């Protein structure tokens, strides 16, 4: 995700900002930039690519007198990675500079109004509207603090924000809503950062801003107020610095032992980000910016061909069930490395849908190219903005999951399922899906972050199960319908993280061979939420029990009957059947994570694997 660092004090600011950005590099980014204030006004430098490139570009800048500035590493969400889209962004006059993490949901309408009022835009980003909004408000109010506050009253979305202005060169304004921001408090210097690791070398004393708070930071003072005005005007917030106890490595991982653990715990936020601004609950509809202009073309689609690799392929298999059941669109899913070499027969109104976190997977990219060659319309569900697949497909939807650092995909998989659900709503409501059903799905989607939080609270119980099974020689994973693909997903994780051979099966297939493996030393993980295929799953569980195979069962809260067959039961809250994998995968990620941790494996970098498979 993007990173922010800002400094005000007595020292030369550029080296401090560059150092802060280098400390944020682990978060992943595609471009970087700084903006500083000197006696001659505001100056900025932005580059596409690495912070080292920014550092080179800043050589000989003559800004040694600058002691205030803000800087940013960008992970593209709106607008491709480029110098023009890199932060900080500025207003028409180049006075006000803004570094922003988050998403401005209503940026298109705000941008339109600002352009009508005469503002000129230089980037494709949602962030730039903030600079122009603040500029517009500065003309109505007497200071930057109030201008930022008023500007934000027009904004819907998430932000962690740092703002400087050449007209008030003695302060940084910071504000937060749903995107973390802290103030670093030092002697005769203060800082703003999205992440403690950016500033820990300068101070360990920090103030955590809460949602809907705004701060004014000078070299030797700070004040925090509520963003909104209460009945008696603005509300002052009393904030005391807290001392950070973690070391630097722990801070990068936000206190988690591994990035994978951190990314699992980010899932509620990732769901919110993937949905943000895209669900119109009262109309039971999804509004997906990247495909909105292709509505008519998509209405004519007669078959969806999904292609992907690994975990992304599993997401495609879940999407197949969603699209067929709720959108009524025939769907097929293919492993990209096979798809590219067989001779797929394309129909006139086929849509090729490529799913990829990195957007760089060689086989998936080749499948897209092959389909395009044959004149098939292509669409992407991709996390990395500006990646090859996002550029090569005709149109697409971004996941908004933020960078995934752990090699094993977790939060990106969840976001792939969220986007698939949104796409199902999009296509379904164009076809036969009723308003009532559309609303139902939309409402259930909104509940998911809270349901996942409930699951995350069970970590200790799941860890105890992990300890029991960590030395098992192999495992079978079973599920049906929406959760048959999930059995495949957890099998990938058993293999790549725990180095435990795992056989995944749609449970009905078990009797056609694999049941012969079952004995007292061969455990089975049975994914059996209470849904339309629960009774069938229960029969499979009974069959395994009859052969004394140990069972870990996953089922719905309140269903106690599986405890008579299973040695261990994991419970998840109830949701719509089609959304069950989104909740069910979370404890399974924790289970495989903890087994791998107990085995002492290099969790974030499993042996022999790479995060981005850019070769065949």
477 binds ligand F6R (CB under 6 A): no
Q: Which stretch binds ligand F6R (CB under 6 A): 47-55, 310-318, 322-330, 477-485?
A: 310-318
The least distance separating ligand F6R from the CB of residue 105, rounded to whole angstroms, comes to 26
Q: Which of 2, 22, 171, 309 is catalytic?
A: 2
Three-state secondary-structure class, residue 311 = helix
Whole-angstrom Cα distance, residue 125 to residue 87? 9
User: Which of 105-113's residues contact partners 24+ apart within 8 Å by CB, and which partners?
Assistant: 105/156, 105/157, 105/276, 105/277, 106/154, 106/155, 106/156, 106/157, 106/277, 107/78, 107/157, 110/154, 110/155
Q: Which of residues 488-527 bind ligand F6R (CB under 6 A)?
A: 492, 496
Query: Of 398 and 565, which CB lies nearer to ligand F6R in the complex structure?
Result: 398
Query: Of 166 and 414, which CB lies nearer to ligand F6R in the complex structure?
Result: 414
The least distance separating ligand F6R from the CB of residue 23, rounded to whole angstroms, comes to 26
Contact by Cβ (8 Å): 284, 438: yes
Closest to 198 in 3D by CA, of 65, 37, 346, 23:
23
Is 254 buried (19+), middle (13-18) or exposed (0-12) by CB count in 10 A?
Answer: middle
The least distance separating ligand F6R from the CB of residue 595, rounded to whole angstroms, comes to 15
Q: Which of residues 331-390 bind ligand F6R (CB under 6 A)?
A: 356-358, 361, 364
Is 446 buried (19+), middle (13-18) or exposed (0-12) by CB count in 10 A?
Answer: middle
Whole-angstrom Cα distance, residue 323 to residue 342? 24
193 binds ligand F6R (CB under 6 A): no
Contacts of 358 (CB under 8 A, 6+ apart): 383, 384, 387, 611, 612, 613
Q: Which of residues 151-190 bind ligand F6R (CB under 6 A)?
A: none
Contacts of 589 (CB under 8 A, 6+ apart): 260, 264, 410, 493
Vertex 533 angle, CA 445 and 416, to 5°: 35
* Options 17, 47, 192, 309; binder of ligand F6R; rule CB under 6 A: 309
Three-state secondary-structure class, residue 253 = coil
Query: Of 136 and 408, which CB lies nearer to ligand F6R in the complex structure?
Result: 408
- Between the CA atoms of 593, 596, 602 and 607, what dihedral angle is there, to the nearest 10 degrees? -110
- The packing angle between helices 484-498 and 580-598, to 10°, is 20
The least distance separating ligand F6R from the CB of residue 25, rounded to whole angstroms, comes to 20
- Written as six digits, the tokens of 379 are 């669409």
Distance of CA 107 to the CA centre of its chain: 20
200 binds ligand F6R (CB under 6 A): no
Q: Would residue 2 show up in a list of annotated catalytic residues for this protein?
A: yes
The least distance separating ligand F6R from the CB of residue 498, rounded to whole angstroms, comes to 12
Q: Which of residues 385-444 bind ligand F6R (CB under 6 A)?
A: 408-409
Query: Of 172 and 408, which CB lies nearer to ligand F6R in the complex structure?
Result: 408
Comparing every residue's Cβ against ligand F6R, the nearest one is 310
Query: Of 458 and 612, which CB lies nearer to ligand F6R in the complex structure?
Result: 612
311 binds ligand F6R (CB under 6 A): yes
Q: Which of 369, 446, 605, 611 is catalytic?
A: 611
- The packing angle between helices 144-152 and 128-138, to 10°, is 120
613 binds ligand F6R (CB under 6 A): yes
Query: Of 90 and 311, which CB lies nearer to ligand F6R in the complex structure?
Result: 311
The least distance separating ligand F6R from the CB of residue 315, rounded to whole angstroms, comes to 8
The least distance separating ligand F6R from the CB of residue 55, rounded to whole angstroms, comes to 29
The least distance separating ligand F6R from the CB of residue 609, rounded to whole angstroms, comes to 8
* Interface size with ligand F6R, residues (CB under 6 A): 15
Query: Of 214 and 367, which CB lies nearer to ligand F6R in the complex structure?
Result: 367
Exposure of 473 in the CB half-sphere (CA atoms within 13 A): 6
Binding positions for ligand F6R, rule: CB under 6 A: 309-312, 356-358, 361, 364, 408-409, 492, 496, 612-613
The residues assigned a catalytic role are 2, 611
């Amino acid at each position: 995700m993007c990173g922010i660092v800002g400094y005000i004090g007595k020292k030369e600011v550029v080296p401090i900002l560059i150092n802060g950005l280098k400390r944020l590099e682990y978060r992943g980014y595609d471009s970087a930039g700084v903006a500083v204030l000197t006696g001659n006004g505001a100056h900025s430098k932005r580059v596409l690519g690495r912070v080292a490139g920014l550092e080179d570009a800043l050589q000989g800048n003559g800004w040694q007198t600058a002691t205030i500035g803000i800087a940013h590493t960008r992970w593209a969400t709106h607008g491709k990675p480029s110098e023009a889209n890199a932060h900080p962004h500025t207003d028409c006059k180049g006075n006000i500079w803004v570094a922003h993490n988050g998403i401005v949901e209503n940026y298109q309408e705000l941008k339109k109004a600002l352009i009508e009022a005469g503002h000129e835009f230089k980037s494709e980003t949602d962030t730039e509207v903030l600079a122009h909004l603040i500029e517009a408000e500065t003309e109505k109010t007497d200071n930057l603090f109030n201008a930022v506050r008023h500007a934000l009253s027009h904004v819907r979305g998430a932000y962690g924000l740092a703002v400087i202005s050449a007209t008030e060169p003695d302060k940084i304004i910071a504000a937060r809503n749903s995107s973390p921001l802290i103030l670093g408090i030092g002697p005769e210097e203060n800082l703003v950062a999205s992440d403690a690791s950016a500033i820990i070398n300068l101070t360990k004393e920090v103030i955590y801003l809460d949602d809907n708070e705004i701060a004014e930071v000078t070299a030797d003072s700070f004040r925090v107020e509520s963003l909104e005005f209460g009945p008696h005007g603005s509300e002052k917030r009393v904030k005391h610095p807290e001392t950070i106890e973690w070391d630097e490595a722990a801070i990068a991982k936000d206190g988690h032992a591994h990035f994978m653990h951190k990314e699992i715990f980010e899932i509620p936020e990732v769901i919110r980000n993937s949905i943000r601004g895209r669900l119109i609950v009262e109309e039971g509809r999804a509004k997906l910016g990247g495909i909105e202009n292709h509505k008519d073309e998509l209405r004519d689609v007669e078959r969806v061909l999904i292609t992907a690799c690994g975990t992304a392929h599993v997401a495609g298999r879940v999407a197949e069930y969603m699209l067929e059941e709720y959108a009524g669109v025939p769907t097929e899913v293919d492993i990209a490395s096979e798809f590219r070499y067989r001779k797929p027969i394309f129909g006139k109104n086929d849509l090729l849908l490529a799913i990829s976190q990195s957007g760089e997977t060689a086989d998936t990219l080749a499948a897209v190219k092959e389909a395009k060659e044959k004149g098939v319309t292509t669409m992407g569900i991709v996390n990395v903005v500006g990646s090859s697949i996002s550029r090569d497909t005709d149109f697409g939807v971004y996941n908004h999951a933020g960078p995934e650092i752990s090699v094993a995909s977790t939060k990106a998989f969840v976001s792939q399922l969220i986007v698939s659900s949104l796409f199902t709503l999009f296509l379904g409501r164009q076809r036969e899906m009723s308003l009532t059903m559309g609303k139902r799905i939309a409402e259930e989607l909104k509940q998911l972050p809270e349901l996942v939080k409930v699951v995350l609270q069970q970590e200790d119980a799941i860890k105890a199960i992990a300890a029991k099974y960590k030395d098992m020689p192999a495992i079978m994973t079973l599920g049906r319908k929406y959760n048959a693909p999930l059995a495949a997903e957890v099998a990938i994780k058993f293999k790549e993280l725990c180095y435990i051979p795992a056989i995944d099966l749609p449970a009905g297939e078990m009797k056609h061979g694999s049941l012969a493996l079952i004995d007292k030393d061969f455990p089975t993980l049975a994914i059996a939420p209470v849904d339309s295929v629960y009774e069938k799953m229960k029969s499979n569980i009974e069959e395994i029990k009859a052969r004394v195979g140990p069972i870990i069962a996953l089922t719905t809260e309140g269903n106690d009957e599986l405890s008579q067959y299973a040695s261990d039961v994991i419970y998840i809250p109830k949701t719509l059947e089609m959304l069950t994998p989104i909740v069910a995968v979370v404890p399974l990620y924790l289970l495989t994570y903890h087994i791998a941790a107990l085995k002492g494996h290099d969790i974030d970098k499993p042996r022999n694997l790479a995060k981005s498979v850019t070769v065949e």
